[in-house]
């Protein structure tokens, strides 16, 4: 059995259910939808919690903090650039019409893939996971996706309460 097939075979079933849910949620986000402010912040807060858990797993190492900082700046910049062209409009106070996009699906799948690979590495090669390079990259990616999502949500909330 190859390494890849062994990894896939030993992945718990619930992980594949989570992936299926992520795909369904992401595909729903490709359609225009009317969203309340409470629903706007739900997914970004989950993504932020995942980023915080990645940082906590690194025990707050300097490499992880630097990675998170760079991810924060890059993710915020990307989120503002993407959302600036998105065409979100206010329906009523606290409610917006969000144009469907593929970015949300990409971000959700990327987060899943990053966490999956990070977990495999941490399980299979703990010495690598303890290294600064690993901690930097995982925090960078976690920060990037969290702040990309949060910055887009911030702009949408601004429109919702304009």
Report helix, strand and coil shares of the chain as percent, to nearest 5.
75, 5, 20
Instruction: Quick: pLDDT tens for 93-138.
Output: 999 999 999 999 999 999 999 999 999 999 999 999 999 999 999 9
Q: Confidence class of residue 1 from pLDDT cuts 50, 70 and 90?
A: low
What's the whole-number mean pLDDT along residues 43-70?
92
Token pair 């075979």 is found at 9
User: Are 148 and 47 spatial neighbours (Cβ–Cβ below 8 Å)?
Assistant: no
Query: What's the CA gap between 54 and 38, in Å, rounded?
Result: 25
Instruction: Quick: pLDDT tens for 24-49.
Output: 999 999 999 999 999 999 999 999 99
Look at residue 19 in the predicted model and tell me its pLDDT.
Answer: 98
Element at 20 (helix H, strand E): helix 13-28
Flag whether pLDDT at 77 surpasses 70. yes
**So where are the chain's domains?**
3-160
Look at residue 4 in the predicted model and tell me its pLDDT.
Answer: 87
- From residue 110, alpha-carbon distances to 23, 29, 57, 91, 146 in Å are 11, 15, 19, 31, 11
């Amino acid at each position: 059995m190859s390494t890849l097939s062994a990894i896939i075979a030993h992945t718990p079933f619930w992980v594949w259910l989570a992936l299926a849910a992520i795909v369904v949620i992401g595909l729903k986000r490709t359609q225009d939808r009317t969203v309340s402010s409470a629903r706007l912040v739900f997914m970004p807060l989950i993504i932020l919690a995942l980023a915080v858990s990645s940082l906590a797993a690194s025990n707050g190492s300097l490499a992880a903090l630097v990675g998170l900082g760079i991810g924060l700046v890059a993710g915020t910049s990307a989120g503002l650039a993407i959302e600036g062209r998105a065409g979100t409009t206010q329906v009523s106070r606290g409610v917006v019409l969000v144009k469907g996009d593929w970015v949300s699906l990409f971000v959700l799948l990327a987060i899943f893939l990053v966490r999956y690979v990070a977990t495999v590495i941490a399980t299979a090669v703990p010495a690598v996971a303890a290294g600064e390079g690993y901690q930097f990259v995982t925090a960078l990616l976690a920060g990037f996706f969290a702040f990309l999502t949060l910055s887009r949500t911030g702009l949408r909330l601004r429109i919702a309460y304009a």
